Amino acid sequence: MILANIEDYRTLARKRLPHFLFEYIDGGAFSETTLRNNSADLQTIALRQRVLRDVSSVSTATTLFGKEYAMPLGLSPIGIAGLNARRGEVQAAQAAEEAGVPFCLSTVSACAIDEVRAAVNNPIWFQLYMIKDRGFLREILARAKAAGTDTLLFTVDMPVPATRYRDMRSGLSSGTILQRKITRARQVLMRPQWAWDVGLFGRPHTLGNIAPVLGDNAGIDEFWSWLAQNFDPTVTWADIDRIRAEWDGKFIIKGILDSEDAKQAASIGADGIIVSNHGGRQLDGALSSIRALPDIADAVGNDLGIILDSGVRSGLDVVRALALGANFVMIGRPWVYALAARQKKGVREILDIFKNEMRVAMALSGNTSVNTIKRDSLVNL
């Protein structure tokens, strides 16, 4: 199969993964309107074609929070991404490092932060949810700090989890634990390659960062119920303010979609925000990230680093987001499809695809450096 773009990796991931795992990655909340709009709205943004500008040398390199990256693109945190290939988060973090872009590990990753950190040369970014047990929250933070993490993404758009119909239907989230295990086992048998690579040799199948409170023998089902009980719906800006005061590294608030919230993020001293709707997995019917971006950039563009995720599927989309005020862009599903399809090399390949697409889009819109991509790189229709 020829893999030319992200959709091709998605198709291959569907063939390689047990049904419940593919549906977990691919799906969104409720009727998936926001999920669809995230990508569809990006496609409606017209890039402005410019000609005869000597584009023989185009650089995608950029700086974010004082660090240089090969392009303004990073890997968003994805829960249990490590089950998409053997010790999957380790492979993805290595691919990101080789490509010169940041990798962010989820709180609910399969591999623990120490395991991932030991497999790469430089510290990785870490994402945290508000957990009811503040003592445990601080322990995780201390572990991230000890692993050298200097950039913390604090996710705020999930005080309660949304319903995802696909997860109910696939056997991931509905039925008794026994029913779920049987349904999933059947699906695994239909994917022998995954069963061998991940099922057999990718153990343990636990959530590495949470394992200290549940013990190493607890399985995915026990972990999900722990999470359901331990995510904290009482969280407010005062809690975030306290964590900000305790964390001496870069502090990025993930899941901002409204300019008033963006201003509040600036006022508590965040270094940046991620304009995101969790890839359409939380408030279905919310604005797409790209439509939310211009207002937010107008409100806080001079005060905060602005990162956008949700729906980005090509280097052209990255240019569109930069033009509308983002300093950096992140991708979730694309890197997981690639990991499932072709392990670490798949992640390397899609990062090359993004970079090449970005370079071409920049050249054809008359931009030789990331800094010149502004709103006038778009057609105002």
Ligand X SMILES: Cc1cc2nc3c(=O)[nH]c(=O)nc-3n(C[C@H](O)[C@H](O)[C@H](O)COP(=O)(O)O)c2cc1C
Q: Please, which residue, 94 or 282, has the CB nearer to ligand X?
A: 282
CB-based contact 149:124 (threshold 8 Å): yes
Place of tokens 């563009």: 301
The residue annotated as part of the active site, out of 86, 164, 278, 320, is: 278
Residue nearest to ligand X (CB): 332
Q: Please, which residue, 23 or 150, has the CB nearer to ligand X?
A: 23
Smallest distance, ligand X to C-beta of residue 234, A: 19
Q: Using CA atoms, how far apart are residues 8 and 14, in angstroms rounded to an integer?
A: 10
Q: Using CA atoms, how far apart are residues 300 and 204, in angstroms rounded to an integer?
A: 43
Q: Please, which residue, 127 or 173, has the CB nearer to ligand X?
A: 127
Smallest distance, ligand X to C-beta of residue 280, A: 7
Closest CA to 309 of 363, 255, 229: 255
Q: Using CA atoms, how far apart are residues 93 and 104, in angstroms rounded to an integer?
A: 8
Is 19 a catalytic site residue? no
Smallest distance, ligand X to C-beta of residue 84, A: 9
Q: Please, which residue, 127 or 367, has the CB nearer to ligand X?
A: 127
Q: Using CA atoms, how far apart are residues 183 and 8, in angstroms rounded to an integer?
A: 27
Smallest distance, ligand X to C-beta of residue 49, A: 26
The residues that touch ligand X, with contacts defined as CB under 6 A, are: 24-25, 38, 76-79, 106, 108, 127, 155, 254, 276, 278-279, 281, 309-312, 331-333
CB-based contact 74:47 (threshold 8 Å): no
Neighbours of 163 (CB within 10 A): 11
Closest CA to 377 of 95, 87, 47: 47
Spatial strand order in the sheet of 151-155: 73-75, 328-331, 305-308, 272-275, 250-256, 151-155, 125-128, 104-105
Q: Please, which residue, 152 or 331, has the CB nearer to ligand X?
A: 331
Smallest distance, ligand X to C-beta of residue 55, A: 28
Token reading at 137: 């929250």
- The residues annotated as belonging to the active site are 278
